[in-house]
Amino acid sequence: MSEDKPRLARLAAIMTQLQSKRIITARDIAEKHGVSIRTVYRDIRTLEKSGIPIVTEEGKGYSISEAYKLPPIMFTEAEANALITAEHFISKNKDKSLRKHYQNAIEKIRSVMRYSQKDKTELLSARMHVRINPKEEETSNNLSLLQSAITNYQLVDIHYLSLQKKESKRKVEPFALLHTQENWLLIGYCRLRKEFRVFRLDCMQSVHNCSENFAPHKLTLQEYFAEAKKSW
């Protein structure tokens, strides 16, 4: 019986993992749980036999039917504490949209916690203080819009005022976001300059979704960094 407990915990964790992404490979599961690929195949069959609607996509991996929903997830104390810690850091972020949407998300997460967990997280929250952005500056409010533009491949119009006070209007294909020195940067393909450029969110006077999609760029962020490094 003692050997069954780790497997039961692993099966529950695999169900959560399957709902965390659209596709999960057998190798992803094996590496996360420290088991062999063959063990993963057995675990997947066990879950299927128990009625979990797992879809196998040949050559890609596994997914779980979108209609299937897990019951409310119970967080460990360490996981709950990590969420509260992240809340304190994000509450000091200079982008207003990020703070707003994270606060909404954390309220939903708290709603599924046990009462004992809620008491502990409230105590921890009252006993933590983060000294980032002490002046409570708000330098942007467009992070959420740009995140959505990246994942939906949507063109944006940017009214930009550089640090040198040069004003311009750009149509940009958003590619990636960086956070550095407490500020957010957008990496995007500028149709005016016909190349990738980096834009500071705190220099954006306005951002508008053009309701126009663009073709995804066939490079990863790591490949972009490798190419950009050559010109440094």
Assigned token pair, 164: 């040198």
The reported pLDDT for the residue numbered 107 is: 85
What confidence score (pLDDT) does residue 186 get? 98
The closest alpha carbon to 176, from 208, 151, 155, belongs to 151
Minimal CA–CA distance to 109: which of 63, 74, 69?
74
Q: The domain at 4-64 falls in which architecture? A: Orthogonal Bundle (1.10)
| CATH code that applies to domain 143-230 | 2.30.30
**Domain ranges across the chain:** 4-64, 77-126, 143-230
Neighbours of 178 (CB within 10 A): 12
**pLDDT-flagged residues of the chain (< 50):** 1-5
Please check whether the two domains, 4-64 and 143-230, share a CATH topology: no
Compute the mean pLDDT over every residue in the chain, rounded to the nearest whole number.
Answer: 90
pLDDT tens readout for residues 67-108:
776 666 677 889 889 999 999 999 999 999 999 999 988 888
CA distance 101 to 96: 9
